[in-house]
Chain A
């Protein structure tokens, strides 16, 4: 039985001859906060739009709450919220009018919660939406997406335009919403420190494919940097199988590996008569290593 809140099976998406997503398999279980990482143009937004039924997959399938996303029912949509990368709304309306207008679609709209969010984020309720700054508009988009306290929240770079204070406030709100509730979040961002605060799983997208999908801690356990100091000169051909990056300078080498194993370190110590220091990486460093590793 399909228990995933979101499920992408062999999903492919092409625009004319350009294939953007290739054979994506991505289940998101209830209660998961999944961070979606990927370089620019890797297909994150396309993946999110396919997962929400805004784009039609070229092949494969996408379901949300067990329903085909292209024909999602009203009941299923009432359980999801979406903050797009570029918030589009009604420029001539005042902020309070946009909120009233959006609320009219939702039978379970939480107006006191929305009022609280507007107060926290100092939203100018009497200003026209079209005249707001990009960051303020993004905040309006977040408020509108959270107003019905959705079970599934899809965030496509929601904090890219926010100032540090608003970003912190947003993460606080998100953590509050997650606390004690089984909500599912799909969170795409380039700010990896935010993901480390809220995400328990991570998916890394590269060249239209999922390069890694799993627990954040598992990723950190797998990707390590090894600093090798040998007692003799290392050859120019020095290489470690499965490494993401390998830099050699005389008797020293720095190697990033995607599938770290203690046996690998022991093997290196023995083979090269070297000291091997194992360094943990944070998510940003892991992302850079994986991205640069593929680029090289």
Chain B
């Protein structure tokens, strides 16, 4: 059995990019933040001066008052500002790893070998349960120890975030994520921070109940994995991380998953059918601007406009929530808007390469349609660029609406022009990077590179803009540099795609 467990463990570390990302996350994110939260907590707590004990009518101390009063409340020593830091330490890794864990578990259990191989289930469940214990119990307890926080509350938070997101990914239901995100973002609010961290002792019973409920959900998930049968609707492999190129059975599962997405609800079916009903209106063609228009239908079951509106609504809601309920003091609520701004610039660029990468298995077949290689690739680029432009316009319209009309942020015409110039050119550069990296077969490597490049770029940009009023000339130079970078990346991407073996 020990040998089997060892073999199962190996399956988790063979995803080298994910392993590298985990190690990088631990070294660059977890360890520094753990050190920071432990330093944030004063080694010799500075408690407020003790109140004089209540006195009776005779001026003598009242014994009953001093007896029930605890000497120190560990949680009272925690500054409210540490709550978001703890949240990031717990929430971010869980949201990241839950997706991978579910995907990996499904490739193991949603397969005939799970039923037919002796001792398969025990060895695989044992390893998965151990990983979940480390992640959802041991890790929050370590943070609690470093931050001198209540360990039960952090375990409860971890389970409140992880359990719904695991079920959401398992069943492919977005609604479960709202529970996870609600728990995650609650710590950014004063009330949430009080509930989870500051007044943890008073809420101990509730935290225990949440932790038990989370543990029951996790146990139910493990049980579900053990019982997966082919006739069940969740007997499907999630390949959203796509750590390897799907082939054979995985490819079949993937296409079934996509078919199910298109018929998930009557509304989605109606939208998809109505959009695809416009196909006969596209005249038979193999040239000109009709071709990108035709190729648009091969990207997704619904138009990009719909995806962009959904994304803008989600980002707008998150921005308004953060701006109104988070710790930020009035006037300093720039973080949520910057987050929206980041996504309004990055996402449209990212989507271009993502849609090409997802389409890649089908491009081999499309290559044999009556189009030259150049015609096909240029038209696919044009269609992907059109989608990115639509996405950029809708996201930025949403951003403008939230910033200007809801949050009443003062925007001058000059600032608006500078933003549009920088955002549009940065989106172009991001688009170039995403279509260039889209030729790589590993989606995870693509995501990793994009995140590193975007993170660094925005760090530099934020630092530069924070120095003071950026002059029009410097903005113009930055925009020109971004256009040059974007053009070079697009040219390189076009060459790479034209030389790509698609078979």
Q: Do A and B bind each other?
A: yes
Closest 10 CB pairs of A and B: A130-B259, A54-B503, A92-B262, A92-B301, A49-B503, A78-B370, A91-B255, A91-B258, A128-B259, A130-B255
B298 contacts across to A, CB distance below 8 A: 90, 101
Scan A64-104; emit 1 where CB is below 8 A from any B CB, else 0: 00000011111101101010101111111110010011111
Q: Is B282 an interface residue (CB 8 A)?
A: yes
Which residue in B251, B283, B284 is a CB contact (below 8 Å) of A86? B251
A74 contacts across to B, CB distance below 8 A: 286, 370-372, 375
- Bound-state CA distance A98–B489 (Å) is 33
Task: Look across to chain B and name the residue whose beta carbon is closest to the beta carbon of A45.
Answer: B503
Q: List 6 A-B contacts (CB under 8 A).
A: A52-B368, A54-B503, A72-B372, A92-B301, A93-B276, A100-B280
**A91→B256 contact, CB < 8 A:** yes
Q: Is B7 an interface residue (CB 8 A)?
A: no
Q: Is B66 an interface residue (CB 8 A)?
A: no
- Bound-state CA distance A107–B287 (Å) is 11
Q: Is B300 an interface residue (CB 8 A)?
A: yes
- Bound-state CA distance A235–B259 (Å) is 66
**B258→A105 contact, CB < 8 A:** no
A-B contacts besides A82-B365, A97-B279, 13 pairs, CB < 8 Å: A52-B368, A56-B499, A72-B372, A82-B368, A88-B251, A90-B362, A91-B259, A93-B262, A100-B279, A100-B280, A105-B284, A130-B260, A131-B256
**A104→B284 contact, CB < 8 A:** yes
**B365→A104 contact, CB < 8 A:** no
Which residue in B258, B362, B369, B502 is a CB contact (below 8 Å) of A106? B369
- Bound-state CA distance A234–B2 (Å) is 57
Q: Is B361 an interface residue (CB 8 A)?
A: yes
Q: Is B367 an interface residue (CB 8 A)?
A: yes
Tell me the residues in window 279-304 of chain B with beta carbons closer than 8 Å to chain A beta carbons. 279-280, 282-286, 294, 297-298, 300-301
Tell me the residues in window 172-225 of chain B with beta carbons closer than 8 Å to chain A beta carbons. none
B252 contacts across to A, CB distance below 8 A: 134
Given contacts A75-B370, A77-B369, contact A105 B294 (CB under 8 A): yes
Scan A102-124; emit 1 where CB is below 8 A from any B CB, else 0: 11111101000000000000000
Q: Is B416 an interface residue (CB 8 A)?
A: no
Task: Look across to chain B and name the residue whose beta carbon is closest to the beta carbon of A77.
Answer: B370
**B279→A104 contact, CB < 8 A:** yes
On chain A, which size bracket covers the interface?
Answer: 35 or more
Which residue in B254, B283, B297, B365 is a CB contact (below 8 Å) of A89? B365
Given contacts A74-B372, A74-B375, A91-B255, contact A105 B286 (CB under 8 A): yes
Tell me the residues in window 226-261 of chain B with beta carbons closer than 8 Å to chain A beta carbons. 248, 251-252, 254-261
Given contacts A97-B276, A129-B255, A131-B259, contact A103 B368 (CB under 8 A): no
B499 contacts across to A, CB distance below 8 A: 56
A70 contacts across to B, CB distance below 8 A: 373
Q: Is B364 an interface residue (CB 8 A)?
A: yes
Which residue in B248, B259, B371 is a CB contact (below 8 Å) of A92? B259
On chain B, which size bracket covers the interface?
Answer: 35 or more
A293 contacts across to B, CB distance below 8 A: none
Task: Look across to chain B and name the residue whose beta carbon is closest to the beta carbon of A137.
Answer: B255
Q: How far is the CB of B129 from chain A (nearest CB, A)?
A: 33
B297 contacts across to A, CB distance below 8 A: 90, 93, 101
Q: Is the interface of B mostly helix, strand, loop or mixed?
A: helix
A54 contacts across to B, CB distance below 8 A: 364, 367-368, 501-503
Q: How far is the CB of B29 from chain A (nearest CB, A)?
A: 36
Task: Look across to chain B and name the residue whose beta carbon is closest to the beta carbon of A97.
Answer: B276
B370 contacts across to A, CB distance below 8 A: 74-75, 77-78, 105-107
Q: How far is the CB of A143 from chain B (nearest CB, A)?
A: 13
B294 contacts across to A, CB distance below 8 A: 101, 104-105
How many A-B residue contacts, CB cutoff 8 Å?
A: 116
Scan A123-162; emit 1 where CB is below 8 A from any B CB, else 0: 0000011110010000000000000000000000000000
Q: Is B272 an interface residue (CB 8 A)?
A: yes
Q: Is A264 an interface residue (CB 8 A)?
A: no
Q: Is A55 an interface residue (CB 8 A)?
A: yes
B375 contacts across to A, CB distance below 8 A: 74
Q: Is A53 an interface residue (CB 8 A)?
A: yes
**B279→A101 contact, CB < 8 A:** yes
Task: Look across to chain A and name the residue whose beta carbon is closest to the beta carbon of B286.
Answer: A74
Tell me the residues in window 228-285 of chain A with beta carbons closer than 8 Å to chain B beta carbons. none
Q: Is B263 an interface residue (CB 8 A)?
A: yes
A87 contacts across to B, CB distance below 8 A: 365
A90 contacts across to B, CB distance below 8 A: 297-298, 362
Given contacts A53-B367, A74-B372, A77-B370, contact A104 B503 (CB under 8 A): no
Q: How far is the CB of B269 from chain A (nearest CB, A)?
A: 10
**B263→A56 contact, CB < 8 A:** no
Q: How far is the CB of A294 from chain B (nearest CB, A)?
A: 27
Q: How far is the CB of B365 from chain A (nearest CB, A)?
A: 6
- Bound-state CA distance A229–B282 (Å) is 73
- Bound-state CA distance A71–B301 (Å) is 31
- Bound-state CA distance A94–B274 (Å) is 12
Q: How far is the CB of B231 from chain A (nearest CB, A)?
A: 14
Given contacts A74-B371, A80-B368, A97-B279, contact A106 B284 (CB under 8 A): yes
Task: Look across to chain B and name the residue whose beta carbon is closest to the beta carbon of A145.
Answer: B368
Tell me the residues in window 30-45 of chain A with beta carbons closer than 8 Å to chain B beta carbons. none
Which residue in B260, B273, B373, B501 is a CB contact (below 8 Å) of A71? B373
Q: Which of A55, A87, A128 has the most CB of B within 10 A?
A: A128
**A77→B368 contact, CB < 8 A:** yes
Given contacts A97-B276, A104-B279, contact A89 B367 (CB under 8 A): no
- Bound-state CA distance A52–B282 (Å) is 28
A131 contacts across to B, CB distance below 8 A: 256, 259-260
- Bound-state CA distance A80–B276 (Å) is 27
**B300→A92 contact, CB < 8 A:** yes
Tell me the residues in window 345-403 of chain B with beta carbons closer than 8 Å to chain A beta carbons. 361-362, 364-365, 367-373, 375
A86 contacts across to B, CB distance below 8 A: 248, 251
B283 contacts across to A, CB distance below 8 A: 104
Q: How far is the CB of B312 from chain A (nearest CB, A)?
A: 23
- Bound-state CA distance A115–B366 (Å) is 22
Q: Which of A56, A72, A77, A90 has the most CB of B within 10 A?
A: A90
Scan A55-67; emit 1 where CB is below 8 A from any B CB, else 0: 1100000000000
**B256→A130 contact, CB < 8 A:** yes
- Bound-state CA distance A93–B263 (Å) is 10
B257 contacts across to A, CB distance below 8 A: 91, 130
Given contacts A54-B502, A72-B372, A131-B259, contact A88 B361 (CB under 8 A): yes
Q: How far is the CB of B211 from chain A (nearest CB, A)?
A: 39
- Bound-state CA distance A53–B263 (Å) is 36
- Bound-state CA distance A146–B383 (Å) is 27
- Bound-state CA distance A80–B370 (Å) is 9
